[in-house]
């Protein structure tokens, strides 16, 4: 009997790239929905605590570095290149998932900077999850945070 294989082996690199692609798709779909549905009419989920509200951010995290799109984009591109180089060298799936989350989130917000403005990197990132006590964020921001925490926890508990 012959050995019949379906597809290539699932390596950590494939895991990372698959997770990144999934995050990018979810991020862009939710931002499209927010831009089409929420401007001028937020959805209150928990009164005084949580709303889905369309906001844009031309800066970095927590609205720092407003209108520094090119600088932010160059830093993000460098981070993306670093993550892609790093993910080729990792050996475990959990690390790959963490890096994939960060990679997908970084690319998701970079896409906004490229396509949502008048110039190449002048676009503003769409945010729409708005807790009253925290700056608004999006799926990409969540993926970056979860991925970073996962990577940190894995490094702390590595034998």
pLDDT, tens digit, 9 for 90 and up, residues 95-117: 999 999 999 999 999 999 889 87
Confidence tier at 119 by pLDDT (50, 70, 90) = confident
- Between CA 51 and CA 92 the distance in angstroms is 37
Among candidate residues 27, 112, 127, 130, the one labeled active-site is 127
Decide if 2 is inside a domain: no
Q: Does residue 5 belong to any structural domain of this protein?
A: no
Residue 58 sits in which domain range? 18-156
| 3-state SS, one letter per residue, for 84-145 | HHHHCCCCCHHHHHHHHHHHHHHHHHHHHHHHCCCCCCCCCEEEEEEECCCCCECHHHHHHH
Is 121 a domain residue?
Answer: yes
pLDDT higher than 60, residue 1: no
> Is residue 125 one of the residues assigned to a domain?
yes
Choose the catalytic residue: 27, 112, 130, 141: 141
Between 4 and 68, the higher pLDDT residue: 68
141 is catalytic: yes
> Is 147 contained in some domain?
yes
Instruction: Assess if residue 7 is contained within a domain.
Output: no
Total domain count for the chain? Answer: 1
* Mean pLDDT, residues 57-85 taken together: 74
**pLDDT confidence bin for 12, thresholds 50/70/90:** confident
112 is catalytic: no
46-67 per-position pLDDT tens digit = 999 999 999 998 766 655 566 6
- 128 assigned to some structural domain: yes
- 144 in any annotated domain: yes
Q: CB neighbours of 54 closer than 8 A, spacing ≥ 6?
A: 34, 35, 37, 38, 39, 40, 42, 126, 128
Average pLDDT over residues 16-45: 95
Residue 83 has pLDDT above 80, yes or no: yes
Q: What is the pLDDT of residue 63?
A: 59
């Amino acid at each position: 009997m012959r050995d019949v294989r379906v597809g290539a082996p699932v390596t950590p690199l494939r895991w990372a790239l698959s997770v990144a692609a999934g995050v990018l798709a979810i991020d862009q779909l939710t931002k499209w929905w927010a831009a089409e549905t929420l401007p001028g009419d937020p959805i209150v989920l928990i009164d005084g605590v949580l709303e889905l509200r369309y906001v844009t951010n031309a800066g970095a995290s927590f609205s720092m570095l407003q209108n520094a799109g090119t600088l932010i984009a160059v830093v993000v591109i460098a981070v993306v290149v670093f993550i892609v180089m790093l993910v080729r060298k990792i050996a475990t799936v959990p690390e790959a998932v963490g890096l994939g989350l960060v990679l997908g989130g970084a690319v998701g917000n970079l896409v906004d900077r490229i396509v949502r403005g008048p110039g190449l990197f002048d676009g503003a990132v769409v945010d729409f999850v708005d807790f009253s006590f925290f700056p608004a964020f999006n799926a990409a921001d969540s993926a970056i945070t979860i991925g970073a925490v996962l990577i940190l926890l894995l490094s702390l508990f590595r034998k």
